[in-house]
Amino acid sequence: MNENKKRKYAFFLGCVAPNRYPMIESSIRAVFDHLGAEILEMEGASCCPAPGVFRAFHIPTWLVIAARNITIAEELGVDIITGCNGCYGTLRDAWWELNHKPELKKMVNEHLAKVGRQYKGNIEPKHIVQALYQDMGMDYLRDFVKHRFKDLKVAVHYGCHIVKPSDKRPWGGEYECPTFLDELVEMTGAKSIDYKDKFMCCGAGGAVRTAVKEVAADFSREKLTNIRDAGADIIIDCCPFCHLQLDLGQMEANSVYGAMIGEPFKIPVIYITQLLGLSFGIDPNQLGLIKNHELAGVSPFIPIEPFMQKVKEELT
């Protein structure tokens, strides 16, 4: 690929990845760099704002702040990538609304004009998985696979907003049973296993986690029980908020629903670019897979060492 054709993306960070799970941010940067895609910083971006929380408080605020974030990428002249289903939900839905409803675009631009900005609608907000699967494509990615994992059983968790609402998503209307994330996982040699209610929500979104943590933890309890029953070694996801809910949520489910759960949950939760990066032969340090600190009370809350042990042989 020559330099002129080099893929460039504006990287929308959001909140949970940079501020709670920085290993996710590191791994996205490392993998995109490795794949020859350039990441441009969206200087001064804010919270997306979260679709189930801030949108639920005041839709116009949600729309105008989302539009402001999109204008930062418009100035850079490239499409947005985000690693978060929530941010994707907001940026993609706002983009869709603004590009389909001229009266909303006019309203938003009246406010943006006060801070010297204008929403044009000439770039597309994408999920990193969308950029990998659709822009680069499986054939392109497959050439980068260096290590194949033989006995790794993976419970794939899509999350909700990467596929729904399906009329505003790029997956051809598929939402009941998508396969793109499984295909990316299986490209590494790992096995994506079937489990009950695979496409069920993690429970964190829609302001539920902030409203009643126990309800969110009960979603996770059900999901994690199904994952454990199916014999998964690890969980692979593509959203930092699901990631938080499935990682920290194991501790919460263990403490709130201990009697129902029995043996406490301890399933390592790995982000998709961490798995892909390992398979591509990227240094695990760059993928945030090696703990390099003595900090207490930080992520990941469920140790991922059992996963690193399991794939150790294949990495050498």
Among the listed residues 215, 229, 258, 313, the single contact to another protein using CB under 8 A: 215
- Least CB distance from residue 32 to another protein, whole Å? 15
Q: Is 208 in the site for another protein (CB under 8 A)?
A: yes
How many positions of this chain bind another protein (CB under 8 A)?
71
Which residues from 33-92 bind another protein, rule CB under 8 A? 41-47, 49-61, 64-65, 68
Q: Is 171 in the site for another protein (CB under 8 A)?
A: no
Alpha-carbon distances of 62 from 45, 73, 89, 208, 240, rounded to whole Å: 14, 18, 12, 18, 20
Q: Which is nearer to another protein, 43 or 263 (CB)?
A: 43
Q: Which is nearer to another protein, 106 or 150 (CB)?
A: 106
Which residues from 93-112 bind another protein, rule CB under 8 A? 111-112
* SS3 per-residue string spanning 195-214: CCCCCCCCCCCCCHHHHCHH
Q: Which residue has the tokens 């009960």?
A: 218
Instruction: Say how far apart CA 88 and CA 64 lie, in whole Å.
Output: 16
Q: With CB under 8 A as the contact rule, which of the stretches 129-137, 139-147, 185-193, 212-220 interacts with another protein? A: 212-220
Task: Kindly report the backbone phi and psi dihedral angles of residue 304, in degrees, each rounded to the nearest multiple of 5, phi listed first.
Answer: -100, 5
Contact 64, 112 (CB under 8 A): yes
Instruction: Pick the closest to residue 236 from 263, 177, 276, 178 (CA basis).
Output: 276
Q: Is 216 in the site for another protein (CB under 8 A)?
A: yes
Among the listed residues 1, 6, 8, 19, the single contact to another protein using CB under 8 A: 19
Q: Which is nearer to another protein, 23 or 190 (CB)?
A: 23
